[in-house]
Amino acid sequence: MKNVIEWIKTNPIVTACAVVALLSIVIIAYAYVVAAPKYVQEKSEELKEQVQRQNALMRVPVPIPNEDPNAPPDIYSVVINPTVITEVSSIYSKIQTQYNGILANAQEKNSRNHAQVLLGGTSIWPNANPTQFFDLYVRAATDYKDHFKALFDTQNANNWNMPRMAASNPPTQEELELILAQSAFDFINSVGAQAATDLTNSQASQLYAEQRVQLMSALTNRARSIHLYVDLPAEEDRFAPEPTDDSTPAPTTPSTGFGFSGSGGGSTAQNPGFPAGYPFRIESWAFSDQPPTPDQLWDGQVQLWIMRDIMRTIARVNRVGETVQVAGPDGVKRNEAASVVNSPVKRLLTLQTLPGYVGMHNTGIALGGSGDSEFGVPSLETFAAPTISGQPGVPGASVSSVYPTPPIELAPKEATDRAVEHFGITPTGRVSNSVFDVRHTRLTIDIEAAKLPSFMELLQETNFMTVIKIDITDLDEYDILQEGYVYGHADVVRAVLVVESLWFRNWTEPLMPDIVKEKLLIKQPQSIDPNTGLPAQ
């Protein structure tokens, strides 16, 4: 050992090199045995994660909307990289731009010709207090009723953009009896007889033939002078005869056996003072001595919008104001003014809109019962009508709210969410939502069978109106003629249509009174002032 130490002392450089070599061997051994495997493992795991991320990006399913809006989206497996991100973002940006454009066009079409006709504008909209604006609310109810009268008043000067159609009942039994009586009187005088009993069999047959011609002429002339048969009150029917003095006896008419049943009918509780066959439903608040409530006026406004849309469609398909070509009995085509005789829609029997919004306040009438039972939707809430001090004849009373309060779970979601579809309510599945509201209307018309499909297409073209239910009954034109209706030579059917119309909220919501917004769950309900029927301040 002493010799080794001495050697180290005498050879320090060799010794230092030996130490360094030994340390190097130890370090190298540590690197290979301990550090290298750990490093390799860490790098391997890192590389594995990178590979997994790359593999995931190479197999990302990306949904791309189909060109057919009713078809499900197409799913593509793509590699996510900046180029793909830019391309997909561009696609969705274009879709959003198109959506905004479609929505804007829908709003423009939906709001076109739908000015606030009650009071002609914004005098009391949307939340004026009926107590403070009593006269304006009464005028609004009068405007509401006047719009029904103006519908067929071709001389009306109000700028309400109403379709100017001439409409009437057929000649009444009394009118025809007067015609027949005058014909008999003239014929009896012409043959020198004193009474009908003095006529010979030949003369009686001649009188019968002449009266048949005059009867058909009277019925046909009425049909050629109007665009539509409608059961109107006498004061609204410009063809109705002037009332006669009851003290003047009517001429005696010999029995002809024509069997004409005439037209007319008593008024109904629904529309007091109107004939039983009046096609429109005028709400009872319009006949009250109290001012209507804001929600009643709003529903009346929407009702008028729908009525005018449908009546404009009828005027369009009937070519009101145009000259049309028709083939005569000899087959030669002639120009005639459009009338019931040569127009597709012959008679309007019913045009009534169901109160409330489909899917929020009712389940519509597409899958409901028959008759008018669907219009008796009970109100779920009532509030006190305004008591106007200092105004005679305006007692306080309990007035039903137009719209019941829907369950809170029916509250519309965000406009960007897909609207819920309910095919158990309507065949289209459309119900009121955050984008549009849905209303149902029953329309009953007599129409040429061959023209019914084109009429339904025109309804859709007019303003997002879709026929979702239809019942068709064939008519016997001879039975119809017995009632005084001249329909021409085409095959005519009676069609009962349920018409679904859409109303986009991007323009209707700003016009809605607050109480309507609450009943549509657009805003939180407020407490109601029992003296006004409006939200408490």
What is the reported pLDDT for 529?
58
- pLDDT of 140: 87
CA distance 528 to 537: 9
Query: Mean pLDDT lowest for which of 145-159, 418-432, 479-493?
Result: 145-159
Q: Indicate if the pLDDT at residue 192 is higher than 90.
A: no
Yes or no: say if 227 and 318 are a contact pair by the CB < 8 Å rule.
yes
Identify the CA nearest to 446 among candidates 405, 494, 395. Answer: 494
Can you tell me the distance from the alpha carbon of 356 to that of 408, in angstroms, rounded to the nearest whole number?
Answer: 16
Residue-level pLDDT at 258: 39
The DSSP secondary structure of 286-316, one letter per residue, reads: GGSSSPPPHHHHHHHHHHHHHHHHHHHHHHH
Mean pLDDT, residues 104-129: 77
Indicate the pLDDT class of residue 375, thresholds 50, 70 and 90.
very low
Residue in the structure block whose two tokens are 């329909």: 487
pLDDT in tens, 502-531: 999 989 998 898 889 999 999 876 655 555
Encoded amino acid at 405, one letter: T
pLDDT above 90 as % of the chain: 22
Does the pTM exceed 0.85? no
| Cα within 13 Å of Cα(439), Cβ side | 28
**Kindly report the CA angle at 440 between 434 and 446, in degrees rounded to 5?**
150
Report pLDDT digits (tens) over 462-471.
888 999 999 9
| pLDDT over threshold 60, residue 159 | no
CA of 112: how far to CAs of 50, 105, 306, 308, in Å?
58, 10, 12, 12
The pLDDT tens digits for 309-326 are 999 999 999 998 888 887
Q: Does 241 have pLDDT greater than 80?
A: no
- Two tokens, residue 356: 């409330």
Are the C-beta atoms of 244 and 175 separated by less than 8 Å? Answer: no
Question: Is residue 451 a contact partner of residue 495, using CB atoms and an 8 Å limit?
Answer: no
